[in-house]
Chain A
Amino acid sequence: MTGILTLTAVTVALWAAACSGQPDPLAAGALTMDPRLIRGAAAAPVTIVEFSDYQ
């Protein structure tokens, strides 16, 4: 049962990414996270990932 639920969740996540036309970097686990470089509540429903330089 747990396996089926997990498979369903993964399928839904992949389907959502495919529909949006771009991977969700957080959902895909594609990012390392340094807690010192994070602001805001850990449980916040919205995450903004900013790739930037200082110049």
Chain B
Amino acid sequence: MLGQILAEFPGKVRLVFKDFPLEFHAGARPAAEAARCAAQSGRYWEYHDLLFLAQPEFSREDLIRYAARLGLNREAFTACLDSGRFRKDVNTDLAEGGALGVRGTPTFFINGRRLVGAHPIETFREAVQDALEDGGRK
């Protein structure tokens, strides 16, 4: 959905994704780490979008299968996933979110203005418009 906002406001909006896997979502952390493995091959956003379509099917085999579907090298991806190479990066995002008072997902900050939970696209349109009218302070 935010991809649509980016398309509707070309050059005006930047999206920064931060991982915040909730503990009671067992597959969320491996999925987050897998997405970063896909990023190593420059396919982060495709993998990211695929994960949202595929949720909650996030077994190790599933994650590897999704990578293969995108044409990523299966061996390299599997090695990355099994290594836990990006565990620390995910932990950093969690810590940063926690420090900002993030408690649930999704939580958005639109030029600093907090928006918690899933909202219709109109809410994001209005928030972006408001931010632009406020002078687009970054």
Contact = CB atoms under 8 A, between A and B. Distances in A.
Interface of A: 16-17, 20, 22-27, 30-34, 36-55
A37 B44 contact: yes
B70 interface: no
Interface of B: 2-3, 5-6, 9, 11-22, 25-28, 31-32, 35-36, 39, 42, 44-45, 51-52, 55-56, 58, 89, 92-93, 96-97, 99-102, 105-114, 124, 128, 131-132, 135-138
B137 A53 contact: no
Q: Is the interface of B mostly helix, strand, loop or mixed?
A: mixed
B27 A16 contact: no
B18 A51 contact: yes
Contacts of A42: 14
Contacts of A54: 21, 25, 27-28, 31-32, 35, 51-52, 55, 58
